[in-house]
Structure 1
Amino acid sequence: MRIPPVKSIVAFECVARTKSVGRASEELGLTASAVSHQIANLESIVGQALFFRQGRGLALTPTGEQYLRDVTGALAELNRATERASSQAEVDILRVHSSPSFGLMWLLPRLESFQADNGDIQLNLSCSYEDISFTSGYYDIDIRYGYAHWRDLQVKTLRNEFIAPLASPEYLARHPIHSPADLLAQRLVFSETPLVQWQQWFARFGVSSEHKAFDFSFDRSYMSLETAALGIGVALESMLLASVHLRRGTLIPVFDHTYGVEVGAHHIVCPSQNADLPRVQRFLDWIDRELKSTSGNRAGA
């Protein structure tokens, strides 16, 4: 039986993810020579090189890429087996990582709904701006933002997401807006995040915005949405992320649904072996139900 030491596989996964022996040694709390020794030990067992030098870092060889895919599932199963053995309660743990705006604006307000339907699942939610690695087996799914470009992962894109101008009812009462061109005289909130920016939106509806200055600028959607909800200006943002504000009436679409631009911006990704887990499938089914229940939040609907 040729089973490598777990510490060698862990070192391999860490170097593959960080592309550096130095960074892997810092993360693992080992010396660089100890990490290199573990990699050399693993390569001697496999019988082939797993890495090659690329610039100042390391890259996986074709054998290394295949080996990483294969051991990912094994590490995940070891992690889950240990978790089950150490658990004192019959509770399944679902670990979700999310982009911060989606986690804060969409998931967090709905956790009670998830628990009501899935009381036997403990949902652990982490948020950061980075795409996480699945090779350690810790996370079940990741909810990512942007254009879908991930290889070797199953991707479920959340549909019916629209980008549209949003403002508070109080702001619109003080500043009546009847056409896209009227927005040029308003306080506009600029957000770096949406896949459709103000300049693109104006061009789509035949308005020249070349010289328009923005009163506020943020690098996160939740900041621009909160600013608009405070009645300070008009934000061009995702109605999916704004769904709680729309339901409460703290934000409303400035125009009817024809002025919303559909995007495929949020994606649930996971390795294929995770997609078959009952807790993951139940989470995906719950998200589908929640999206259907709020599908009327399209602009002007």
Structure 2
Amino acid sequence: MDSGKTLSLPPLKALQAFEQTARFANVARAAEQLALTPSAVSHQLAKLEALVGRALFVRGARGMTLTPAGEQYLEEVSEVLHRLAMATDRAASDAGLECLRLHSAPSFGLLWLMPRLEQFRQSHPDLQINLSCSYESLHFSRDKVDIDIRHGLPSWPNLEIRTLQRERLAVLAAPQLLEKRPVQSPADLLHSELILSEATLMKWPNWFAQQGLALPERPYTLSFDRSYMTLEAARHGLGFALESTVLAADYLDRGDLVRVLPQDDDLPVAAHHLVFPRAHSRYARVRRFLDWLQQELGQPFEY
């Protein structure tokens, strides 16, 4: 029934100022993102709070903190802004296909996801796929991202998180290296060429500690800040790598790399997570991708 009351729509600039300030907990950072002055952002926030009739932020010496009303408003506003951005993007597209926008940590995107995207595309021909890779945690509405596959510790409040289960860190090497440097026990690695992967959550010191061994005295042969570089170096026989069995899955299947020790010596790790706003779970394209990914991994996600 029409009550006759006209709903007040907040200005888009005010919503953008609110979302960016909530993201950074800082008016100055929000102003940088929006190419505005801090005073202009503060003015938009004041205008929005006057329209809502409630405080959305608590102003403190350490920044801006959302009130309970602000947290609820942020969840709903972020969804609206994302849907608006996606609707605009679809309207501008010539393809006429619904677009699934993915962002991934580089090594997972390159080593695991990229070789399998064709399988997903063939089973879902009505979806257009956009994949970008970086270690930056993108902003879902601003960057038009449906799912972000992140590497790290799962500490992203107010977002849905699906963690890859049974990911482990294993000692890996090229078969030709093992022929020259056979390894019978973990202690043999103390005197071997070790490649340090700076990207992994746990590194050689963690692994040696689990084995009850001190750190090797000799320096690492090589170190890399990307897992795909570590795995490629190991494939070329340049040293022993401690890397994710998920990222190395295709290397292991092809025989380019082999496990050096029994699986009991692996380190369990929860390093890769699918992250998205709660509202995105209602999108059919998101649910289809999550279902497909679980099937490809052969395991459910950890919630």
TM-score between the two structures when normalised by the length of structure 1:
0.89
**Offset of residue 20 of structure 1:** 2.7
Match of 1:231 in 2: 237
Moved more, 206-215 or 172-181: 206-215
Moved more, 6-15 or 212-221: 212-221
Say which SS state the counterpart of residue 82 (structure 1) adopts: helix
CA distance in 1, matches of 2:40, 2:212: 62
Contact 2:85–2:141, Cα closer than 8 Å, also in 1: no
Match of 1:140 in 2: 146
CA distance in 2, matches of 1:56, 1:11: 19
Q: For structure 1, list consecutive stretches of 5 or more residues without a partner in the other structure.
A: 294-301
Matches within 5 A, 1:123-272: 123-136=129-142, 138-209=144-215, 211-272=217-278
CA distance in 1, matches of 2:13, 2:70: 17
Which of 34, 43, 52 aligns to 1:46? It is 52
Contact 1:13–1:135, Cα closer than 8 Å, also in 2: no
Match of 2:76 in 1: 70
**Offset of residue 110 of structure 1:** 1.8
For the structure 1 residues 137 and 276, does the alpha-carbon distance in structure 2 shift closer, same or farther, using more than 3 Å as the test?
farther
Moved more, 158-167 or 121-130: 121-130
CA distance in 1, matches of 2:175, 2:90: 50
| Counterpart residue identity of residue 49, structure 1 | A
**Offset of residue 136 of structure 1:** 4.0
| Counterpart residue identity of residue 47, structure 1 | G
Say which SS state the counterpart of residue 298 (structure 2) adopts: helix
Contact 2:90–2:99, Cα closer than 8 Å, also in 1: no
Which of 110, 115, 118 aligns to 2:116? It is 110
Moved more, 271-280 or 219-228: 219-228
Contact 1:72–1:136, Cα closer than 8 Å, also in 2: no
| Counterpart residue identity of residue 135, structure 2 | Y
CA distance in 2, matches of 1:137, 1:101: 20
TM-score between the two structures when normalised by the length of structure 2:
0.89
Match of 2:4 in 1: none
**Offset of residue 196 of structure 1:** 2.8
Q: How many residues align?
A: 293
Say which SS state the counterpart of residue 81 (structure 1) adopts: helix
CA distance in 1, matches of 2:275, 2:281: 9
**Offset of residue 90 of structure 1:** 3.2
Moved more, 50-59 or 146-155: 50-59
**Root-mean-square deviation over aligned CA pairs:** 2.1
CA distance in 2, matches of 1:67, 1:205: 50
| Counterpart residue identity of residue 155, structure 2 | H
For the structure 1 residues 95 and 176, does the alpha-carbon distance in structure 2 shift closer, same or farther, using more than 3 Å as the test?
same
CA distance in 1, matches of 2:52, 2:93: 34
